Amino acid sequence: MQPLPKEYNFGEIERKWQQRWEEMGIHHYDWNDSKRPAFSIDTPPPYPSGELHMGNVLNWTYFDMVARYKRMRGFNVLFPQGWDCHGLGIEIQVEKANNIRKRDLPPDQFRKMCMTLVEKYIAVMKEGILNLGCSIDWNTEYRTMDPDYWRRTQLSFIQLHKKGYMYQGTHPVNWCPHDETAIADAEVDYVKREGVLHYVRFQLEGTHEHMMIATSRPEFIPACVAIEVNPEDARYMKYIGKVILVPIVGRSVPVIADECVDPGFGTGVVMICTYGDKEDVKTVIKHKLPVIMLLTEGGRINENGGKYQGLTANQARAAIVQDLTAAGLLEKTEKIMQEVGVCDRCKAHVEILERKQWFMKTRELTEAVEKAANEVIWYPDYMKARLVDWAKSLDWDWVISRQRLFATPIPVWLCKTCGELIVAEADWVPIDPKLEGPRITKCPKCGGKEFVGERDVFDTWMDSSITCAVHAGWPDRSDWHRLFPASIHPSGTDIIRTWAYYLMVRHLALFDEPAYRSVLINGMVLGQDGRKMSKSLKNYVAAPEALGKYGADAIRQWAAGGGATGSDIPFRIQDVEYGRRFLVKLWNVSGFTNKLLVDYQPGKEGHMDLQPLDKWILSKMENTTKKVTDAFEKCQFNIALEEIRNFTWHVFCDAYVEAVKDRLYRPEVHGQEQKVAAQTTLDKVLFRILQLLSPVAPHLTEEIYQTLYAEAKGAKSLQQLPWPQFDETLVNNRVERRGDIIVELIGEVRREKAEKRMPLNSQVRTLTIYAGDQSAAEAIGDAESDITGALKVEKVVVLPEEGSGREVVQFPSIHFIAEYQAAGPK
Ligand SMILES: [Zn+2]
Ligand SMILES: [Zn+2]
């Protein structure tokens, strides 16, 4: 055995092991191993943002602890890593960085600029993930922008089209006028904003009567197709079925009745426009109203807006309000707080436009999603409701087409002559229909020979919602079901409605099977002040800096121990520093133990005489093992870590090591067999601590293992040794209770020495203990060797009766009187 260096240099140790593990290849999934059970982690491919933030650190620590724990449990673990490259975010950043609009460049050139930026961002994030010590199988690395991944996304579309799940239709869709693309419900954020309610007079046709309408979007007046009131509203009953004139445009529209109208909001009269909001969409469908599209894809008023054509929505509002005022039709205005939908990327006000789009029939799968969600195991369980509620809340099918450039193309064409839709065959993909025609000689319907390639592309979620199958090897490996459904899908509280949902609905549609068997949920990382971490709140912590300053093993302890799985976790420096101190403590006690074991040869130790405290700690070690194992099984990382740290710090370091030192220093007093018993126990307990802590703090535990244990244990890494089995034969409640008495008694005498300002090793001439009863007296008597050794007692007198003297706090029936040797040179 070589000695451990005195100083714990985490930077050097962590870098060393990250490299060595990679060289050893011990984190690779073995595709040829059919003996071990397989365990697949559906690592969500992150969207390259150019920085690893503390939220990523929390997520990756979670998955990595699962991966390491499962490997030690004997599983062949697939821990892949991909990058979800496409998306609006990258397009926007490329436009900003180069001060261009994407439509100004040839699409290929713009795509290349996006790819360059993505590669730069991936490099930064990858370095962060490596520095965190994640045990990823880097052989699996993939990018959704690669042709090979396009192939999979496109193939899944072709299969779903064959199964009848894909359709093209003209439907209202959420539309970002800034980015000029359709967006999904999940990409709409709702924010509270101050708006203005305009009270506008609408005249009843052929009369001098009018109805008062309160609207926050008067710019939509030119697209008004009906007026709506509640049928129970006594004020307006008489107008139902009458015709009303829309001001400014002079169009006649009906007054209709619907119980959805809230008589208490505004004036109780609602203007139905196509489309001011999602409620308008529902009303138009329900009452079969006509549609007058008012906005262009860029969010300006179109030809249906008459004199307002060409204005932005905001400009049109100002102009219409001015015209209403001039005509004496604006009664009054008042400020209101309202919730408006904004684009989650650019924050532009989301409009509703009708446009031809591709859809996936997701709503008809809602029941199947709910059933699957109920069969999946959720960590924590209460998060299940979020998926079910979201699936049930969806009004529209999933719009899967986007009007962007940096994305996977939709592999379809239209016949130029007859308009027939040609969908690519499975063996044509990957293919870009903008650059290549369909691989047929003529249109199967009309014989035409010219085709127009689809210009729309897929929503990014179409790429990233097939990962459970892709990770497993679909569609190329015949044995991909070995790894499917994914054993665990990690998701965040903020992406259940996207990642967890899209994965589930997509795999159910494709394979009639759920995507995953369990879901591991992480909460959000909050700043030190408990608010959402953000640069503008000045509570932002950059992960690379934190990793550089404290090391991965300390940061990982924050992630594991910061709070219950699924809850939001503040980034507390105190947690990281506590983690750091714990590692130093473990490092120091390992170095110290190493010295005490210098003449110890495991397997050749000879006869030993286990003392009560040896049995006590072995029993506690087994109970801790059981609790930690149960906690890891339930992904309760904070409980696992707390158990390990408590056991290590308080039971092992503070109590046991201190109590048995004397046995190891002075075998001539206590006997060789007692020394061997202590050595064997130290060796066993320290090793167990390393094993239990290894999923959380892999670097430090590996370093200590390599220095102290590798030679004897024979495995080239601590992670290759099996997870400890709970040994019930070592558990003994009576032994633990008796050991607790001894530990508390020793602690109380030490406290007295400290209070008297005496050194801890000062001699006690006589220690008289009033045990209170016979059984406590026996417990204390049996441990005399450790009591005298730990407290430097010359003579111990144990009496079974109650007595006077200092009380042992935890065991108030026990008292003692210590007579100290006079101070001075011995
Ligand atoms: Zn946008
Ligand atoms: Zn044709």
C-alpha 86 to ligand 1 mean position (Å):
15
CB within 8 Å of 355: residues ≥ 6 apart? 170, 173, 175, 182, 297
Of the ligands numbered here, which is closest to the C-alpha atom of 344?
Answer: 1
C-alpha 162 to ligand 2 mean position (Å):
20
C-alpha 235 to ligand 1 mean position (Å):
41
Distance of CA 812 to the CA centre of its chain: 48
Q: Cα-flanking dihedrals φ and ψ of residue 491, to 5°? A: -145, 160
Q: Where are the beta strands (DSSP E) in 18-128?
A: 38-40, 76-78, 82-83
C-alpha 753 to ligand 1 mean position (Å):
70
Per-residue confidence (pLDDT) for residue 1, from 0 to 100: 58
CA torsion through residues 283, 286, 290, 292, sign: positive
C-alpha 448 to ligand 2 mean position (Å):
5
CA distance 660 to 608: 14
CA distance 295 to 348: 15
CA distance 310 to 296: 9
C-alpha 7 to ligand 1 mean position (Å):
52
pLDDT in tens, 287-321: 999 999 999 999 999 999 999 999 999 999 999 99
C-alpha 414 to ligand 2 mean position (Å):
8
Per-residue confidence (pLDDT) for residue 826, from 0 to 100: 43
- pTM summary value: 0.88
Percent of the chain beyond pLDDT 70?
99
Q: Band the pLDDT of 366: cuts 50, 70, 90.
A: very high
CA distance 210 to 207: 8
Average pLDDT estimate for 569-581: 95
- Alpha carbons within 13 angstroms on the beta-carbon side of residue 351 total 27
Burial class of residue 278 (count of CB atoms within 10 Å of its CB; 0-12, 13-18, 19+): middle
For 317, 429, 821, the CA distances from 149, given in Å and listed in that order, are 45, 10, 79
- In this model, does residue 824 exceed pLDDT 60? no
Per-residue confidence (pLDDT) for residue 823, from 0 to 100: 57
CA torsion through residues 184, 185, 190, 195, sign: positive
pLDDT in tens, 157-208: 999 999 999 999 988 889 999 988 888 888 889 999 999 999 999 999 988 8
C-alpha 422 to ligand 2 mean position (Å):
9
Of the ligands numbered here, which is closest to the C-alpha atom of 448?
Answer: 2
Q: Quote the mean pLDDT of the chain.
A: 94
C-alpha 359 to ligand 1 mean position (Å):
20
- Nearest CA to 515 out of 472, 547, 559 is that of 472
C-alpha 419 to ligand 2 mean position (Å):
6
C-alpha 46 to ligand 1 mean position (Å):
20
- Measured at the CA of 805, the angle between CA 800 and CA 807, to 5 degrees, comes to 80
547 neighbors 131 (Cβ within 8 angstroms): yes
C-alpha 464 to ligand 2 mean position (Å):
34
- In this model, does residue 825 exceed pLDDT 60? no
Q: Band the pLDDT of 601: cuts 50, 70, 90.
A: confident
CA distance 290 to 156: 36
What is the four-CA torsion angle of 378, 383, 389, 392, rounded to 10 degrees?
Answer: -20
C-alpha 185 to ligand 1 mean position (Å):
13
> How many residues are present in the chain?
826
Least confident stretch, 255-259, 503-507, 624-628: 255-259
Structure-block tokens of residue 404: 């962007």
Of the ligands numbered here, which is closest to the C-alpha atom of 404?
Answer: 1
Gyration radius (Cα) of the chain, Å: 35
- Specify the residue for token string 């009639």: 512
Per-residue confidence (pLDDT) for residue 89, from 0 to 100: 85
CA distance 733 to 197: 72
Of the ligands numbered here, which is closest to the C-alpha atom of 298?
Answer: 1
Order of strands across the sheet with 351-360? Answer: 181-183, 166-176, 351-360, 398-399
Q: Where are the beta strands (DSSP E) in 638-788?
A: 764-770
CA torsion through residues 508, 510, 513, 519, sign: negative
Per-residue confidence (pLDDT) for residue 140, from 0 to 100: 97
- Nearest CA to 217 out of 290, 289, 275 is that of 275
Least confident stretch, 77-86, 427-436, 531-540: 531-540
C-alpha 438 to ligand 2 mean position (Å):
12
pLDDT in tens, 711-747: 999 999 999 999 999 999 999 999 999 999 999 999 9
Average pLDDT estimate for 52-72: 96
Percent of the chain beyond pLDDT 90?
85
- For residue 793, give the DSSP letter: E
C-alpha 539 to ligand 1 mean position (Å):
27
Residue type, 288: K
Q: Cα-flanking dihedrals φ and ψ of residue 462, to 5°? A: -70, -30
Average pLDDT estimate for 44-68: 94
CA distance 381 to 37: 25
For 320, 459, 545, 557, the CA distances from 644, given in Å and listed in that order, are 69, 45, 27, 11
Of the ligands numbered here, which is closest to the C-alpha atom of 418?
Answer: 2
Please tell me whether residue 457 adopts helix, strand or coil conformation. strand
- What crossing angle do the helices spanning 543-550 and 552-561 adopt, rounded to 10°? 110
How many CB atoms are closer than 10 A to CB 339? 9
